[in-house]
C-alpha cells in the first residue's frame, strides 16, 4: 500500500488542499487547479498514447482504458496476475509554475525529485520512490497553464531505469501534443532536448 509520502506526491497537482491555497487568516493566495470540461479544451491523453507505445517503452502487454468524455483518464492495465506495471496519465490546469506547487506543498527531505529536460515544455518534474515491494514513478510536464501527469506503479522485481526512461518518453509525447494543439495559456519553450526512446532493460 502507498504510504503517506506517496499519497502526497500523487495528489501534488490535483486540486490542492485548502491549506495550500490560503494564507494566514484564510486570505486566498492562489486559484485552484482544475480540469477543462468542454471542447475544444478537453481531450484525452489516449489521443496520443496507446498500448503499442506502452509496450515499446515499458515492455508490457496492457489494455487501454480511456475513461469517459468528462473524466478522460488514460490508463493501461496488464493482465491480471502478470505482475506488470500499471500506467496512468491525466491532466489539469494550474495557473502557476511547478515551482509554485512544490513550494506550497513541500516535500519530504528524502524525496527523490528530479528535473528532466522535456522538449517543448516549460518545466517538468519526476518523483521516484523505490520500495522493497513496489516502484512508484510520477512525472509532471507543464506547457503554459496545462500540467500533464504520468503515474507508474510497478511491483517488484522492477527495472527502475527503464521505467524512468519510459515515463520521460511519455512526458515528451504529451508535451509535444500540448505544443501542437496550443493547449495552456501560453506555448511552451523548446528546450531542444530529446529524451530518446532507449528501451534497454536494467
Cell of residue 35, nine digits:
480540469
The answer to whether residue 193 is domain-embedded is no
The answer to whether residue 46 is domain-embedded is yes
DSSP letter for 64, please: E
Which residue reads 495550500 in cell numbers? 20
DSSP letter for 59, please: -
- Work out the end-to-end distance of the chain between its first and last CA atoms, rounded to an integer number of angstroms: 24
Number of domains in the chain: 1
Domain extent, residue 114, equals: 4-181
pLDDT tens series, the chain, 202 aa: 333 333 333 344 443 322 222 233 333 434 444 455 554 456 789 999 999 999 999 999 999 999 887 788 899 999 999 999 999 999 988 888 988 877 776 667 778 999 999 999 999 999 999 999 999 999 999 999 889 999 999 999 999 999 999 999 999 999 999 999 887 654 333 333 333 334 344 5
Question: Model's pTM, two decimal places?
Answer: 0.74
The answer to whether residue 29 is domain-embedded is yes
Report the pLDDT value the prediction gives residue 42, as an integer from 0 to 100: 66
| Spatial distance between the Cα atoms of 107 and 105, rounded to a whole number of angstroms | 7
The answer to whether residue 175 is domain-embedded is yes
Give the residue ranges of DSSP H helices in 46-159.
51-58, 98-105
**For residue 170, which of 186, 148, 144, 202 has the smallest C-alpha distance?**
148
| Spatial distance between the Cα atoms of 188 and 146, rounded to a whole number of angstroms | 10
Angle at 141 between CA 176 and CA 105, to 5 degrees: 165
Report the pLDDT value the prediction gives residue 118, as an integer from 0 to 100: 98
Amino acid at each position: 500500500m502507498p504510504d503517506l509520502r506517496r499519497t502526497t506526491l500523487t495528489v501534488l497537482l490535483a486540486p490542492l488542499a485548502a491549506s495550500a491555497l490560503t494564507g494566514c487568516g484564510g486570505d486566498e493566495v492562489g486559484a485552484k487547479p482544475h480540469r477543462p470540461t468542454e471542447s475544444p479544451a478537453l481531450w484525452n491523453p489516449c489521443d496520443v498514447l496507446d498500448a503499442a507505445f506502452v509496450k515499446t517503452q515499458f515492455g508490457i502487454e496492457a489494455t487501454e482504458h480511456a475513461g469517459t468524455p468528462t473524466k478522460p483518464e488514460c490508463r493501461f492495465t496488464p493482465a491480471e496476475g502478470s505482475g506488470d506495471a500499471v500506467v496512468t496519465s491525466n491532466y489539469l490546469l494550474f495557473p502557476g509554475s511547478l515551482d509554485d506547487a512544490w513550494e506550497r506543498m513541500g516535500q519530504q527531505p528524502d524525496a527523490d525529485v528530479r528535473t528532466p529536460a522535456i522538449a517543448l515544455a516549460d518545466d517538468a518534474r519526476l518523483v521516484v520512490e523505490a520500495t522493497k515491494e513496489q516502484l512508484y514513478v510520477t512525472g509532471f510536464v507543464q506547457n503554459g497553464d496545462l500540467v500533464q501527469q504520468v503515474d507508474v506503479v510497478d511491483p517488484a522485481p522492477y527495472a527502475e531505469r527503464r521505467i524512468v526512461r519510459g515515463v520521460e518518453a511519455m512526458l515528451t509525447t504529451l508535451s509535444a501534443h500540448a505544443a501542437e494543439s496550443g493547449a495552456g495559456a501560453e506555448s511552451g519553450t523548446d528546450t531542444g532536448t530529446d529524451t530518446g526512446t532507449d528501451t534497454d532493460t536494467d
